Structures are given as structure tokens and as C-alpha cells.
């Protein structure tokens, strides 16, 4: 077959495989953090790009009006100059289509083009690196295979789909081409090329964190492949000189970045290491590192190709490694050194994002493995081409096709996440159109990852960008104020005075009502407008009736219902269900469950209405009744809250835990002791700044003190990151229903040791 025809067929085949592997990413929507980057990339110089300050769409100014600080800020607090510049150019080329959402094709195609150039650079570098060791034929085959594997790698979806991946692609592009130019200049003794490599080092260091390793890598290339047969001391001396010379370019880039942003060169690594406070933290990071290695070996998402993808990835890995095992028998020393260098390269590339977990069920953060996946591609390519004859051509083809199939499966979660963000924007926009666009918005949503991806960011930090005027096309008198929390978080907020403050300015609650049959898509959402509190009127108690008289109560002011049976009656065995009718009902089932929890001297039951989203959003309550038609009702009373566990109950912090020393009221203590059902203790913690909520179980010590493991550590982390304050509650629950509760506030302060 003529060489031109073989090259043409190869290019056509790669284009077909690229369409198969990356086609879904081109049409997938962006996540919320990408929306924020696009806004910052088009922000007028000198004006704020904060989503909370925006009231109208803005026209991007010319690039010449942007300062270095503006470009560093495009990617956020840890941005890089050249990646910011690249996104600013892309923003002006592709634009934003307003309320219809961002057209992602242009941005994704740019990322794919950069990935293709990275693959070509890897081919050029690897061929020259391996030629002194493996010979020209295998070096050429291995370099071509590594380039194709990198372009079609299953973990590349996270880098191509994310605008944050632009910096990774640019830094790797300059990294790999600079190394290729440097090696050619050293092997062919062309000083001009080594001078160009100095400029390339500077560009790589201004593009992303990977560039910071380039001087060290150039020294390695100089040592092993520049002139392999020179004396060891000569190679070591020239490698040291390479670090010094090209380290100068690194110093210039670091100085510029620190001067503009105040962020040091090893900020990410220092942040990861600072998270190690105890030996358990170090052990956890070590387990995560092993897990990342497993993902590199088996790069298949459990939400995409699933178990079949994992099986295929395992077969492909064994298929690729088998030739190296055979070749190592004839040249154990050479293959031993290759394996050692491969392991060291994987270890160094794996230091990126030590405190970030990546596993098959959550590949949204696999972008940090882009450099490690390139190293993995090199190792697999060298191994799979360690054969001769026709097998050297056929085996890489099988491996490349398998990677393309896995890559397509791994790309599908980003399609689901983009669709979820689009549906969320539409639901909130519709709710605001019906209830008033100036209302404050509170999203009550499960906020679970979508197919293993956090479309709003790990801490829901990008939610405000979803409703930015750049994407909605709205012109407002004031910026959109929006927060998000889970259903338990909203219920905890409803027990605090902050919700009443929100209601005074009109609060629009957008909440999930039901999951769709396709769990990859977001839930069905409704909305409820909460206005200023109207006082409740009428009676709050009645006797001997399973149905209440006519009521006029504000559901947010009533948090509990207490029911007592007639004297001498036995404890009923039927489940308790309470239903109600509201003036303006919502499409949620209007019932709550209760629990009988004591039978001495009178059987009592409790309904924790403050833990029912349907109750809290029902507005004005007109009537309540018991579905079971109880015959022995003594008295029913609607209360603002459950009985307290003590007048001055406060948690005592010791190390990472909390301790509650109970001093129960006599009546409550007797009721708990006489209860026929053992209850459980639960502590809830709500960060009132971000509305993050967590529940921790409590255990009863021999002294009667309630021990809550990890509560103090959670509060410290919150206060350190957001400033708090933190609202806490301690529940005593029977059959999942709270029957007594104490609550309070905890603001950051030194822990008080328990006695």
C-alpha cells in the first residue's frame, strides 16, 4: 500500500474514532462553573464580574482593555494568564446566545483541537526519546500509538468538556512541544531550537500547573535521550545546567503570577498537604491515590459504560501489557528501567490534586488526572508495540478502538449534567416569571451528583451563575439573589429567625417534588412564594375529636402536634398519619407520620411537623385530621416546636467531638424512661452562610452524656471557610420521628474541654 494512501486512511480512521469518542461532548451543555468563567472572560475591564452584582447583559470590551489581573481572574482564584487569555478570545469569537443557553460546540472544538496538537507533540517527542533505547521502528510505532491513545483516552472527557481544562490543555501543549523542540535541538546540536525552548518554557509556566515541572522534565530528557552514550558525569552535568537555565523561565513566570495574584507556584500542592492533620488523613489520601491508580488502569465510568466498560478496560489493559512481559524476558534490564521510569512519572503526575477523590462513580473530578493519563498512554503504547511483524500494527489498532468505545461511554455523563443545568435554569426562570422576578430565590433540591458530576460545583458555588443576565437576557433593577440547600437544610433553616427575615423581602422557594423515571435527569420542580408572616388566628387545641375545628394557622409558625390518649387507654398499635387542608395547597402529599412514644401515665404521640416540607410550604392551614380515626383521643395541641431537652443545654467540644450533658425536665425524663420504644439521638448542623446541612448520630455514654463524633471538626471547618455561624439541634427520635428537641448557635471559638 502506498504511503500516502496509508496516511490518508489513518487520518480518516482517527477522525471517525474521534467523532465516536468525543461527539457527545460537542453537544453537551456547560456546568455552572463554566458559566462563571465565560462571564469573567467577557467582563469589562474595571467592572465587577461577580454574579451577585449583575443586573443586565454586558458587551465584552476589546481585549486590549483587559489587564493582566483580568486575565488571571478568568479561571477564578487560581487562574493562569494564557488560559485566561485563550478563554477571553474564545468568548469574543463564539459569544453567548442569551436566554437559549451557551452554544458549547465552538469551545469544545477548540479544546479538541488543542488535544489533537498535544497528541502530535507527544508523537514528536516520544519518537526522539525512545529511538536511542528501542530502535527507530518500535519508537515510531510507540509514539504514534501513544498519540492516538492520548487523543481518545476515556478520561479526556473531563478535560475537553470543562473550560477549566483549557489551562490543562495549553500547559500540556507548550510542555510537550517545548520538550520536543529542546530534544531535537540537543540531538541535532541546534542552539536556535534550544533558545526557542526557553520561550516555550515561559509559556508553559504561564498556562497551567503542569508547566512548573517542565525544567525538571527537560533535565530528564537531556540525561536519558540527548546523547545517551556520553559519560555519566557529562550527562549529569548538562542535566543540572538545563535545570538552572530553564528554571530562569520558571522564575519569571512565578514572579509575574505572584505579583498579579499573590498565589505561589505550589499553591495547590500546599493546599492538599495542609488538609493532612492526622495520620488518618494521610491514610485516606493514600487510599485515594490507590483509587486513582485503579481509575487510570480501568478508566470506565460506572454511569456510562458501567460494568461492561470496566470489564472491557481490564481486558484492554492486560492485552496491552502482555507483549512487554514477553519482551522483558530477553531484555530484563532495559524493561526494568522503563518500568521504573514509568512508575516515577505516574507518581509525580499523581501529586496533582492529592486531596481530590476520583473513582469510577464520580469521574467529574478526573480532570486532575490528565497528566497521569498521558503518562499511562506512553507506558501502554511502549508495551503494546513490543512485538514484531504484523502484530505491531494490529494490536495498537485494537487498543485504540477500545479506548474510543470507552471514551464515548464516559462522555455521556457530561450530556446528562448539561441537560440538568438547562432544566434547572428553565424551572427557576418559569417560577420567577409567575411569582415576581425581583424575589429572592431559594432552591430546595437533593443536589446530588448527576451521573457522577456536580453540575453546580462540589459546594454549589456556581449556582448564582445559572441565572446571570448574560445567559437569561434579563434586565433587572437589582441582582438575582439565589441560594441552594437540601430539604433537611431548608427545614432546619425554617426553625431559625433568618427565614423570617428572608420572607419579609419575598422569598421564592423552588423545590423538587418527584424524581423522574430516568434518574440521570433532574427532578420535577414546583415553586412557592413566601411573603411576610401573617399571625395565626383561632384555636390551637381541641379535645376528643379526630378532626380539628376550622383553623387559620401559618404553617411556618407551627412546628409540632402533640396528641394524648384518654386516661387508662392502651397504647394503640396502628400507625399514626396526620392530614391537612391548606388555602393554597402545593402538589405534595399533605400528610405526616407520628409516633407513640410513652404510655405512662397517659399514652402520648408526637408529630414533628417542622420536619415535613409539605407542611412548611402549605401556607395557611385550614383543617387537620387523623387518617386512622382514633377512638381514644384525649387532647390535641398544635405547638410552635417540640418540648426542649433542657433550659440551657449547650454542646461541650473536646478535640473533634461534641458532648451534651443532659439535664432533662422531670416530666420528659419520666416519659423517656417509661417509653416502650427506645429512641435515638441525632445532631443536626446548619451553616447559615451557605445553608449546608449535616446530621450526625449521637451515642449515650454510661454517665448519660450524649457523644456526637465529628461535630466539633465540622463546625471548625465551616467557620474556617465561611465564617458561620452554625445553628445546631439535638433531637430525640422515636421510630424516625423527633419527640423532643433543643437547639442553639455555635460561632467559631476555641473548644471548651469536657470535664
Provide the residue ranges of all domains of the chain, joining segments of one domain with +: 541-639, 652-746
Say if CB 699 and CB 706 are below 8 A apart. yes
Q: What is the mean pLDDT of the chain?
A: 86
Q: Which residues does 417 contact at the CB level (< 8 Å), separation at least 6?
A: 28, 29, 31, 364, 450, 451, 453, 455
Pairing of strands 620-626, 524-530: unpaired
* Euclidean distance between the first and the last CA atom of the chain, given in angstroms as a whole number: 86
User: Quick one: pLDDT at residue 8?
Assistant: 87
CA distance 11 to 21: 15
**pLDDT tens digit sequence for 568-610:** 666 666 678 899 998 877 877 788 988 887 766 677 888 999 9
Say if CB 38 and CB 32 are below 8 A apart. no
Which of residues 459 and 283 earns the better pLDDT score? 283
- How far apart, in Å, are the Cα atoms of 695 and each of 488, 680, 682? 9, 13, 7
User: Quick one: pLDDT at residue 354?
Assistant: 82
Instruction: Characterise 637 by phi-psi region: left (phi > 0), alpha (psi -120 to 50), beta (else).
Output: beta
What string of DSSP letters covers 622-672?
A: EEEEETT--S-EEEEEEESSPPPS-SS---EEETTEEEE-----HHHHHHH
Residue pointed to by grid coordinates 390551637: 540
Band of pLDDT at residue 751, cut at 50, 70 and 90: very low
Q: What is the mean pLDDT of residues 124-145?
A: 93
Sheet holding 482-485, edge to edge: 482-485, 440-444, 507-514, 524-530
Band of pLDDT at residue 137, cut at 50, 70 and 90: very high
Band of pLDDT at residue 166, cut at 50, 70 and 90: very high
Q: What is the 3-state secondary structure (H, E, C) of 130-182?
A: HHHHHCHHHHHHHHHHHHHHHHCCCCHHHHHHCCCHHHHHHHHHHHHHHHHHH
Grid cell in block for residue 230: 556520553
User: Quick one: pLDDT at residue 152?
Assistant: 96
Q: What is the mean pLDDT of residues 257-263?
A: 81
**pLDDT tens digit sequence for 346-391:** 988 888 888 888 988 888 889 999 999 999 999 999 999 999 888 9
pLDDT at 748 over 50: no
pLDDT at 666 over 90: no
- How far apart, in Å, are the Cα atoms of 713 and each of 82, 651, 656, 730, 748? 39, 13, 5, 17, 11
CA distance 617 to 634: 29
User: Quick one: pLDDT at residue 490?
Assistant: 94
pLDDT at 556 over 60: yes
Sheet holding 652-654, edge to edge: 652-654, 657-660, 706-708, 693-700, 680-687, 726-734, 737-746
User: Quick one: pLDDT at residue 407?
Assistant: 95
CA distance 152 to 62: 36
Band of pLDDT at residue 663, cut at 50, 70 and 90: confident
Pairing of strands 576-582, 524-530: unpaired
User: Quick one: pLDDT at residue 345?
Assistant: 92
Say if CB 129 and CB 224 are below 8 A apart. yes
Q: What is the 3-state secondary structure (H, E, C) of 551-613?
A: CEEEHHHCCEEEEEECCCCCCCCCCEEEEEEECCCCCCCCEEEEEEEECCCCCEEEECHHHCH
Grid cell in block for residue 417: 449534567
Band of pLDDT at residue 668, cut at 50, 70 and 90: confident
Would you tell me how many other CB atoms lie within 10 Å of the CB of residue 181? 22
Grid cell in block for residue 669: 425524663
Band of pLDDT at residue 272, cut at 50, 70 and 90: low
Q: Omega of the bond prior to 601 within 30 degrees of 0, cis?
A: yes
3 state DSSP class of 444: strand
Lowest-pLDDT range of 78-92, 182-196, 456-470: 456-470
Element (H, E) at 697: strand 693-700
User: Quick one: pLDDT at residue 452?
Assistant: 87
Which of residues 85 and 272 earns the better pLDDT score? 85
Does the domain at residues 652-746 carry the CATH identifier 2.60.40? yes
Instruction: Characterise 497 by phi-psi region: left (phi > 0), alpha (psi -120 to 50), beta (else).
Output: alpha
User: Quick one: pLDDT at residue 685?
Assistant: 95
Say if CB 171 and CB 208 are below 8 A apart. yes
User: Quick one: pLDDT at residue 639?
Assistant: 92
User: Quick one: pLDDT at residue 55?
Assistant: 74
Q: What is the mean pLDDT of residues 613-628?
A: 88
Q: What is the 3-state secondary structure (H, E, C) of 529-541?
A: EECCCCCCECCCE
Cα torsion 44, 48, 49, 50 to 10°: value is: -170
Sheet holding 553-554, edge to edge: 541-543, 633-639, 560-565, 604-607, 591-598, 576-582, 620-626, 553-554
pTM score, two decimals? 0.86
pLDDT at 516 over 60: no
3 state DSSP class of 315: helix
User: Quick one: pLDDT at residue 537?
Assistant: 83
If you compute the radius of gyration of the chain from its CA atoms, what whole number of angstroms results? 31
Say if CB 637 and CB 618 are below 8 A apart. no
> Angle at CA 126, nearest 5°, toward 123 and 131?
120
Question: Helices marked H in 385-468 — which ranges?
Answer: 391-435, 463-466
Amino acid at each position: 500500500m502506498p504511503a500516502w494512501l496509508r496516511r490518508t486512511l489513518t487520518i480518516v480512521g482517527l477522525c471517525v474514532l474521534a467523532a465516536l469518542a468525543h461527539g457527545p461532548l460537542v453537544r453537551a451543555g456547560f456546568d455552572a462553573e463554566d458559566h462563571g468563567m465565560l462571564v469573567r472572560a467577557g467582563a469589562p475591564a474595571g467592572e465587577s464580574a461577580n454574579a451577585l452584582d449583575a443586573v443586565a447583559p454586558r458587551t465584552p470590551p476589546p481585549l486590549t482593555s483587559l489587564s493582566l489581573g483580568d486575565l488571571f481572574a478568568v479561571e477564578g482564584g487560581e487562574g493562569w494568564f494564557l488560559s485566561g487569555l485563550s478563554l477571553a478570545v474564545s468568548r469574543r469569537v463564539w459569544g453567548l446566545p442569551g436566554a437559549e443557553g451557551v452554544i458549547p460546540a465552538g469551545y469544545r472544538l477548540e479544546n479538541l483541537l488543542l488535544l489533537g496538537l498535544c497528541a502530535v507533540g507527544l508523537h514528536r517527542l516520544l519518537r526522539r526519546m525512545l529511538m536511542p533505547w528501542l530502535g527507530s521502528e518500535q519508537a515510531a510505532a510507540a509514539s504514534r500509538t501513544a498519540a492516538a491513545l492520548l487523543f481518545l483516552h476515556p478520561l479526556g472527557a473531563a478535560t475537553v468538556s470543562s473550560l477549566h481544562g483549557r489551562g490543562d490543555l495549553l500547559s500540556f501543549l507548550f510542555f510537550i512541544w517545548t520538550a520536543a523542540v529542546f530534544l531535537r535541538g540537543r540531538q541535532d546540536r541546534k542552539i536556535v531550537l534550544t533558545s526557542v525552548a526557553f520561550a516555550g518554557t515561559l509559556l508553559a509556566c504561564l498556562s497551567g500547573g503542569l508547566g512548573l515541572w517542565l525544567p525538571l522534565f527537560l533535565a530528564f530528557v537531556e540525561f536519558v535521550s540527548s546523547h545517551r552514550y556520553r559519560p555519566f558525569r557529562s550527562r549529569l552535568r548538562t542535566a543540572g545546567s538545563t535545570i538552572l537555565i530553564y528554571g530562569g523561565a520558571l522564575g519569571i513566570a512565578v514572579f509575574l503570577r505572584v505579583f498579579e495574584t499573590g498565589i505561589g507556584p505550589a499553591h495547590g500542592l500546599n493546599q492538599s498537604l495542609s488538609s493532612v492533620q492526622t495520620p488518618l488523613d494521610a491514610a485516606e489520601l493514600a487510599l485515594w491515590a490507590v483509587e486513582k491508580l485503579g481509575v487510570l488502569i480501568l478508566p470506565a465510568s460506572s454511569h456510562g459504560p458501567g460494568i461492561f466498560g470496566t470489564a472491557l478496560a481490564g481486558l484492554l489493559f492486560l492485552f496491552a501489557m502482555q507483549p512487554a512481559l514477553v519482551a522483558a524476558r530477553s531484555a530484563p534490564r532495559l524493561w526494568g528501567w522503563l518500568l521504573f521510569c514509568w512508575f516515577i512519572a505516574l507518581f509525580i503526575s499523581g501529586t496533582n490534586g492529592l486531596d481530590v477523590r476520583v473513582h469510577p462513580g464520580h469521574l467529574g473530578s478526573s480532570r486532575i488526572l490528565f497528566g497521569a493519563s498521558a503518562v499511562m498512554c506512553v507506558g501502554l503504547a511502549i508495551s503494546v508495540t513490543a512485538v514484531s511483524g504484523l502484530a505491531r500494527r494490529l494490536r495498537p489498532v485494537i487498543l485504540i478502538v477500545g479506548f474510543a468505545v470507552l471514551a464515548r461511554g464516559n462522555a455521556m455523563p457530561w450530556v446528562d449534567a448539561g441537560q440538568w443545568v438547562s432544566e434547572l435554569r428553565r424551572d427557576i426562570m418559569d417560577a420567577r416569571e409567575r411569582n415576581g422576578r425581583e424575589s429572592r430565590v431559594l432552591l430546595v433540591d437533593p443536589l446530588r451528583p448527576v451521573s457522577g458530576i456536580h453540575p453546580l460545583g462540589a459546594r454549589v458555588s456556581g449556582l448564582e451563575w445559572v441565572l446571570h443576565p448574560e445567559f437569561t437576557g434579563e434586565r433587572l433593577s437589582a441582582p438575582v439573589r439565589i441560594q441552594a440547600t437540601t430539604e433537611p437544610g431548608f427545614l432546619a433553616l425554617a426553625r431559625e429567625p433568618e427565614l423570617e427575615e428572608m420572607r419579609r423581602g419575598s422569598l421564592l422557594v423552588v423545590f423538587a417534588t418527584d424524581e423522574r423515571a430516568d434518574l440521570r435527569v433532574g427532578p420535577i420542580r414546583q415553586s412557592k412564594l413566601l411573603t411576610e408572616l401573617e399571625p395565626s388566628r383561632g384555636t390551637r387545641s381541641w379535645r376528643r375529636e379526630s378532626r380539628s375545628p376550622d383553623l387559620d394557622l401559618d404553617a411556618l409558625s407551627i412546628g409540632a402536634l402533640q396528641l394524648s390518649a384518654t386516661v387508662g387507654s392502651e397504647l394503640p398499635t396502628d400507625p399514626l398519619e396526620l392530614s391537612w387542608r391548606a388555602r393554597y395547597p402545593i402538589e405534595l402529599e399533605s400528610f405526616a407520620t407520628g409516633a407513640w412514644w410513652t404510655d405512662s401515665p397517659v399514652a402520648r404521640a408526637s408529630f414533628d411537623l417542622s420536619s415535613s416540607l409539605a407542611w412548611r410550604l402549605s401556607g395557611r392551614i385550614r383543617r387537620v385530621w387523623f387518617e386512622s380515626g382514633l377512638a381514644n383521643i384525649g387532647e390535641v395541641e398544635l405547638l410552635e416546636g417540640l418540648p426542649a431537652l433542657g433550659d440551657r443545654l449547650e454542646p461541650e467540644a473536646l478535640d473533634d467531638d461534641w458532648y451534651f450533658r443532659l439535664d432533662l425536665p422531670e416530666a420528659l425524663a419520666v416519659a423517656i424512661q417509661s417509653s416502650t420504644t427506645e429512641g435515638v439521638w441525632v445532631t443536626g448542623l446548619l451553616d447559615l452562610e451557605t445553608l449546608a446541612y449535616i446530621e450526625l448520630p449521637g451515642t449515650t455514654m454510661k454517665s448519660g452524656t450524649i457523644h456526637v463524633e465529628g461535630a466539633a471538626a465540622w463546625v471548625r471547618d465551616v467557620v474556617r471557610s465561611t465564617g458561620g455561624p452554625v445553628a445546631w439541634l439535638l433531637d430525640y427520635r422515636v421510630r424516625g420521628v423527633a419527640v423532643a428537641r433543643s437547639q442553639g448557635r455555635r460561632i467559631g471559638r476555641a473548644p471548651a474541654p469536657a470535664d
